[in-house]
């Protein structure tokens, strides 16, 4: 299942003059069957592994697969299925 994770950690800006923001989003794909199962996993884990997904910079709605990443669940503020 695919999710957007809203993280409670700073994201650097694109340019040196840009201070960035205090939160950022990670798009992932995880083998959980539903959000309830995924939330149980988050509640019982310090880290999870998931496949990172990337938006097309040209504005296409399709997400492309990246590599498997480890995510510290302590910094996840919000989870939304996509």
pTM exceeding 0.95: no
Question: If you average pLDDT over residues 64-78, what whole number do you get?
Answer: 93
pLDDT tens for residues 1-51?
999 999 987 666 667 676 666 668 899 999 999 999 999 999 999 999 999
Q: Please, which residues bridge with residue 78 across strands?
A: 6
* Residue 20 token pair: 């960035």
38's enclosing H/E stretch is helix 35-43
- Phi then psi for 30, rounded to 5 degrees? -135, 150
* pLDDT reported for residue 44: 96
> Could you tell me the pLDDT band of residue 59, with boundaries at 50, 70 and 90?
low
Sign of the CA dihedral with 35 first, then 8, 72, and 17 last: positive
């Amino acid at each position: 299942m695919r999710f957007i994770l809203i993280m409670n950690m700073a994201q650097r800006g694109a340019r040196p003059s840009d201070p960035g923001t205090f939160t950022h989003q990670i798009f992932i794909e995880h083998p959980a069957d539903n959000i309830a199962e995924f939330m149980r996993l988050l509640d019982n884990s310090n880290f999870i592994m998931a496949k990172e997904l990337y938006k097309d910079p040209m504005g296409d709605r399709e997400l492309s697969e990246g590599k498997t990443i480890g995510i510290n669940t302590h910094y996840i503020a919000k989870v939304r299925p996509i």
